[in-house]
Amino acid sequence: MAKLTIDGVEVEVAGGSTVLQACEQAGAEVPRFCFHDRLSIAGNCRMCLVEMDKSPKPIASCAMPAGDGMVIHTNTVEVKKAREGVMEFLLINHPLDCPICDQGGECDLQDQAMAYGRHFSRFDEHKRAVKDKDVGPLVETIMTRCIHCTRCIRFADEIAGVEEFGAVFRGEHMEIGTYVEKAISSELSGNMIDLCPVGALTSKPYAFTARSWELRKTESIDVHDAVGSNIRIDARGGEVMRIVPRLNEDVNEEWISDKSRFACDGLTMRRLDRCYVRAGGKLQEAGWPQAFDAIAKALHGLGGDQTAAIAGDLADCEAMTALKDVMENLGSANIDCRQDGAKLGGARAGYLFNTGIAQIEEADAILIVGADPRWEAALVNARIRKRWRQGGLKVGVIGERRVLTYAYEHLGAGPQTLGQIAAADHEFCQVIDGAERPMLILGSGAVARPDGAAILATARSVAEKFAMVKGGWNGFNLLNRAASRVGGLDLGFTPGAGGRDVAAILEGAESGAVEFVWLLGADEIEMARLNNAFTVYQGHHGDAGAAAADVVLPGAAYSEKNATYVNLEGRVQRGHRAVNAPGEAKEDWTILRAFSESTAKTLPYDSLATLRARMAEIAPSFATANRIAPAEWQDFGTPGEMSGDAFAGPVDDFYLTDAIARASHSMAQCSALFVTGQQGKTGTDG
């Protein structure tokens, strides 16, 4: 601890703090451009100058460690004069293009120039001009505006883990960009837009579409993966203009993935905005009564064992609760939220990321089994890298060799290696046995195989053998990748007694044993196998499910409804409506409530509050939002023989994992560039 006097106020700060952080703790405002709490210290901009007793000149507070007995002044005439001088130099080469800059209204340089800038310039030489860099389809560059704060460079190197961004030349001739003209190959590249304190890096899809003060801002939750990143939806009129992150230290810190940020243009494409009923082999427009009548007619005379329902990866908890109750009223136990066939359910500890995302920073050994955290949960991968950079972390991987942005030891390709570790017959056993807080991360793809239950049981035995579960620490983690998965499992949206799972539903539909299937946004199954069954698709995009359906019911996307999602660590979170759903589309639970009136039993809730009370009745964890209900450690998985087949990554294309992303032009460009390798020629190709 160090005691300092700042503007006459004595403060005590933790060891390792800087003078700037001490000033903030004392309530003194210190401007800055290059400093960022989550990045290394650069000391480039000099905007944070303060006076220190016994120092012959002002000091850069961001780079000066706080020491005991320091006396700091932040508001003297000398300090103001020094900052005005720094600002004058920063503005020498900065273009006067605030009126057309997308950073306008959110620009740190603009704000500080109002406080410390002159109303005139003494510089009358030619201004520097820097060629803009093409760094991909997501980030727009106007490099003449760059003030060389190097935040983007440090983010790429330290957080994203891609050493593709840097600087060449010196002084005012310094240029920032990729060393070879190419796109930034990171799933987190969009965060550099937020970090840039000027308009040098902006959003390419959002460019010249709206002003920040025109936008209506709504706090919500991302659904493109299971991390549950906290986001803010900025909308104008009925259109989502952009997605930006919200601070949540326990989940996503202040970052989001590029898919979470840029797939929002898919919210307006390929939308279902009215009902359709198949007639004469073609889908025909219909009203809600006609659609419900067609469904009721198809259900007439069918028993519960002849009907089934499958929930998709983007389904919210309210909709799954309503659909579960509808199917129970129909006498059907054939319900499932595991499109991929994952052998999950039962004990809650068996399908949660029990350690918690933030607690990854406390681990000292990690065993990753059949998972690709970089594509399945980019923010989880960023946390692992953060811990790895601190030193002392050893990572072992069983599965495919992937670039994970941190060093790891590749142990093997398949379940055989996992079995060796379970039998304490592998060199890596010494690592996890000697670790104080070891972790195991099991990928969702590893349990979506025919031997998934046996793999799950073996992973549990590894956790127990090497004391990964002990007082105050649970190192067993299941890396789910679907936003609906944990919520669906908590609600019991799985086959009841004698019920069919997804594989059995598809088999029954082929054989004629299942004659009716309700798809709640389920697009990732083999639709051709449903040809013999009457299929209802309820969702928001005209994806695979809608094309195969006999009745289409237009639902609301995540940005158009108040909904509950449970992230991979079991945290209950609420999303909020930012815009209205297009056309005749409705919130999913209200569609199911309205349809239930066509059946013998009407659902007993007619408001969101009563529906959420029903959710809490099913699973008490839903009673309180923004918290994690502890999961008791129990047996899960089924011991048995594991296949010799190597683990395969469950995500083939990070950018096209769901219906919204597949409708996005931005994500299509990224997929073509980074996945299929269709990058065009650049100026370096000759």
Q: Which residue is listed with tokens 């952080």?
A: 21
Tell me which DSSP letter residue 225 carries. Answer: S
- Report residue 396 as tokens: 């072992």
* Residue 686 confidence (pLDDT) above 70: no
How is residue 486 written in tokens?
């944990």
Look at the alpha carbons of 378, 380, 386, 391 in this order and tell me if their dihedral is positive or negative: negative
pLDDT digits (tens, 9 = 90+) for 329-347: 999 999 999 999 999 999 9
Length of the chain: 686
For residue 678, what pLDDT is reported?
A: 64
Q: Is the pLDDT of residue 683 over 60?
A: no
Q: Tens digit of pLDDT for each residue in 83-107?
A: 999 999 999 989 988 999 999 999 9
Instruction: Please report the pLDDT score of residue 118 as a whole number.
Output: 83
- For residue 685, pLDDT beyond 80: no
135's tokens:
């760094």
pLDDT, residue 4, reads 93
Task: Check pLDDT > 90 for residue 677.
Answer: no
Which residues, 6 or more positions from 404, have their beta carbon under 8 angstroms from its beta carbon?
372, 373, 374, 381, 384, 385, 395, 397
In the predicted model, is pLDDT for residue 182 greater than 90? no
Q: Residue 270 contacts by C-beta under 8 Å, 6 or more apart in sequence?
A: 541, 542, 543, 659, 663
* 493 Cβ contact partners less than 8 Å away, ≥ 6 residues apart: 311, 320, 323, 324, 335, 336, 337
Residue labelled with tokens 């690709």:
372
DSSP string, 499-563: ---HHHHHHHHHHTS--EEEEES--SS-GGGGTTSEEEEEESB-SHHHHH-SEEEEB--GGGS-E
* Mean pLDDT along residues 76-84: 94
Closest CA to 640 of 422, 347, 487, 398: 422
Please check the confidence at residue 469 and state whether its pLDDT lies above 70: yes
Residue 404: burial class (beta carbons within 10 Å; 0-12, 13-18, 19+): buried
Which residue blocks in 57-128 are alpha helix, DSSP H?
77-92, 108-116
For residue 265, give both structure tokens: 């243009």
User: In the prediction, which pLDDT does 681 show?
Assistant: 46
Q: What is the pLDDT of residue 679?
A: 53
92 vs 636: CA distance, rounded Å:
65
Sign of the dihedral through C-alpha 183, 188, 189, 190: positive
DSSP class of residue 313?
Answer: T
Residue 346 buriedness (CB in 10 A; 0-12 / 13-18 / 19+): middle
At 351-376, the pLDDT tens digits run 999 999 999 999 999 999 999 999 99
For residue range 208-256, what is the model confidence (pLDDT) as tens digits? 999 999 999 999 999 999 999 999 999 999 999 999 999 999 999 999 9
What percentage of residues in the chain have a pLDDT greater than 70?
Answer: 99
Mean pLDDT within 391-412: 96
Q: Residue range 439-463: average pLDDT? A: 96
Select from 150, 181, 149 the least CA-distant residue to 164.
Answer: 181
Q: Is the predicted pLDDT of residue 454 greater than 70, yes or no?
A: yes
For residue 136, the model assigns a pLDDT of 92
Tell whether the model's pLDDT for residue 473 goes beyond 60: yes
User: What is the C-alpha separation between 543 and 520, in angstroms, rounded?
Assistant: 12
* DSSP helix/strand/coil, 29: coil
And the tokens for 470? 């002990």
Are the C-beta atoms of 163 and 182 separated by less than 8 Å? no
Nearest to 254 by CA among 165, 187, 194: 194
Task: Give the residue-averaged pLDDT of 169-188.
Answer: 88
Confidence check: pLDDT of 682 > 50: no
Condensed to tens digits (0 to 9), the pLDDT of residues 574-586 reads 999 999 999 999 9
pLDDT at residue number 684 = 42
Question: Distance (Å, rounded) from C-alpha 413 to C-alpha 422?
Answer: 15
Cα 340 to its chain centre, rounded Å, is 20
Q: Return mean pLDDT, the chain.
A: 94
Asked whether residue 172 carries a pLDDT value surpassing 90, the answer given is: no
Contact assessment for residue 599 and residue 330, using Cβ atoms and an 8 Å cutoff:
yes
Query: How many CB atoms within 10 Å of residue 120?
Result: 6
